[in-house]
Amino acid sequence: MFDRFNIKQISDELTKIIKAHVKVSGRLSGQMSLFSDQASLNEKIDLLERILEITRIENKYLENNLPTEEFLQGILKIDRGTLRFDAPKKIKNLGSGTSPIRLQPKLLLFLLFIHNRGSYKVYDIIDRFIRIIWDHLDPLDFKKTRTGVTRCFTNTRFAANTLRRYGLLKFTRKEAYKTWALSLPGILVASKVMEKADWAIPHVQRELNFDLHPDILKAFDELKSYDSFVRRLTSICKPDNKLFVDFKKASIKAYSLLGKYWDILQNPSLSKKDREKESQAQLERIEKDSEIKKFYDAFSTLVNVGDLLSLK
């Protein structure tokens, strides 16, 4: 496995060299600020990358044929001003980055954070989400697939597809194809995930015959009473609202039906296909209930996690 600490040391050393020896002046198109001797590190990196692109063209060698996995398993160091790379004697399988199932809980959490904070298209959601969890990913997550898409972008889409199949994301033409929005069970899971108060993506032991993250399957376990259900939802609402007074009957019905929905999600005797089919059917019963729909619509406008989440 690659040495993250060593890579960080090399990166820091190269950063010092770039800052000291790359000088740019004048204004370049597409940059947010004026280039000068104090040009930002990012701007200097952009410039160097363009120089390498031209060098590739001059050498008629456009593709990088050094596999990321081989690079990460080699030994990279700077020795008396010389950048040295020792290739690995044997290449191990490093996997394919952070798996979609590991991304599911924090993706729900991020969607909770941006709930009622404007309308975002899917690409923008993925981009913002990746930037939030960036420090918890590894270089393999940023490898581009043959289609040219960064692996973590693809895995985030896969995570969302699974969440949507089980009804944790709303599935209408508006939401499914243009943006991602949380359903009521999705909000319940996200509010539980928020209790950990971090953006770490820990490794998980995937349960046999289940394609939802264990944290999602267990999110309803503490809600053994209607009062606990109310407390969970109230914790992410604007204060001083009368939601559970004005919609008491509908919220009680929603709690009952959601309990049955989670029983389906946790049922080990069902195949993944049947579990998916039955959970969707149960969710349709919930969403087609006019009283519950009014309750959800009112609740949705009150969701506000404010500064409860630590975001960079």
| 6-51 pLDDT, tens digit each | 677 788 888 888 888 888 776 655 554 444 444 578 888 888 999 9
State what percent of residues in the chain have pLDDT above 90.
54
Higher pLDDT, 44 or 133: 133
CA atoms within 13 A on the CB side of 285: 14
- Within a 10 A sphere around the Cβ of 97, how many other Cβ atoms? 21
- Quote the pTM value: 0.84
Alpha-carbon dihedral 258, 259, 265, 267, rounded to 10 degrees: -160
- Within a 10 A sphere around the Cβ of 141, how many other Cβ atoms? 22
Q: Over the stretch 48-80, which tens digit does the pLDDT of each residue have?
A: 999 999 999 999 999 888 888 888 888 888 777
The reported pLDDT for the residue numbered 35 is 42
Q: Over the stretch 196-226, which tens digit does the pLDDT of each residue have?
A: 888 999 888 877 789 999 999 999 999 999 9
> How many whole angstroms separate alpha carbon 262 and alpha carbon 218?
9
The reported pLDDT for the residue numbered 29 is 58
> How many whole angstroms separate alpha carbon 171 and alpha carbon 62?
42
When the pLDDT of each residue in the chain is averaged and rounded to a whole number, the result is 86
> How many whole angstroms separate alpha carbon 165 and alpha carbon 180?
13
CA distances from 202 to 102, 106, 124, 199, 215 (A): 7, 10, 24, 9, 11
Q: Over the stretch 278-305, which tens digit does the pLDDT of each residue have?
A: 999 999 899 899 999 999 999 999 998 8
The reported pLDDT for the residue numbered 177 is 61
> How many whole angstroms separate alpha carbon 175 and alpha carbon 173?
6
State what percent of residues in the chain have pLDDT above 70.
89
Nearest Cα to 108, choosing from 231, 269, 242, 219? 219
Q: Taking the CA atoms of 59, 64, 66 and 71 in sequence, report the sign of the dihedral they define.
A: positive
**CA angle 242-303-256, nearest 5°?**
70
Nearest Cα to 113, choosing from 42, 164, 187? 187
CA 171 to chain centre: 19
CA 19 to chain centre: 32
Length of the chain: 312
| Residues sharing a CB contact under 8 Å with residue 303, sequence separation 6 or more, in sequence order | 112, 115, 116, 187, 236, 237
